[in-house]
Structure 1
C-alpha cells in the first residue's frame, strides 16, 4: 500500500508539473496580448487626439479664410464704387485710411489670430505631454 501511495503522489506531482508547464507560458502570452491591446488603444487614442486637433485648426483656418475673402470682396466692391464715382463722399476718408497706411490693423489682426492658434497648439501639447 505504501508503494501505491508513492506512485499516486508521483503521478499527481507529475500532473501538477505538466499543468504548470502548460499554463505558465499561456498566462505570459495572455499578459503580452493584453499589454499589446492596451498599447494599441493608447496609440489609437493619441492618433484621434492629433486628428481632432488638426480638424479644429483646419476649421479655424477656414473661418479665417472666409473672413478674409469677405473683406477682400468688400474692398473689391468699394473699389468698383470708387471707379464708377458712386462713393466720392467717402473718398477723403478712404484715401487717408488706405493709401496713407492707416489701415494696418487688418494685418495685425491676422497675426494675432495666428498667434492665438499657436498658443492653443502649445497648450494642447502640454496637456498631452505634461513633462514638457
Structure 2
C-alpha cells in the first residue's frame, strides 16, 4: 500500500490587479527592540492607493494634518523578490526611502502585506495591509 500527500495550493501572494487597491499602514517598527506600534498608537496614519493606470496616491495623517503625494509605479523583481518601485512626482517629502531620489520601494510579503525598506537606513520598518474589497 502506498500513500502520497501533496500540497498544490499556491501561496497567497498579493498581486495588483486592474482595480484600484488601497493598502493601509498597520505597523511601524523602529530600529530598537520593543519599538513596534500598531493602529492609533503609530506616529502617523498612512495609506496608498494603486490604480490600474500605474499611478498611485499616498496619504499621510500626522495629528490631523493630512499630506498627499502621487506618482507612478512599476512592478520589478530582484533575486526572485517582487516589489513595487514608486516614482514620486508630487509630495516628495513623504518618500520613505534611503536613496535621496524620487523613488521608493515596497516589497511583497506572504499574504496581503507590503513592506517598505526605509529601515535599512534607520527609518522605521513600515508594514501595509491590503484592505478587502
* Same fold at TM > 0.5: no
Give the TM-score, by structure 2 length: 0.23
Which structure has the highest helix share of the two?
Answer: 1
Structure whose CA Rg is larger = 1
Which structure has the highest strand share of the two?
Answer: 2
Give the TM-score, by structure 1 length: 0.23
Structure ranking higher on relative contact order (CA contacts 8 Å, 6+ apart): 2
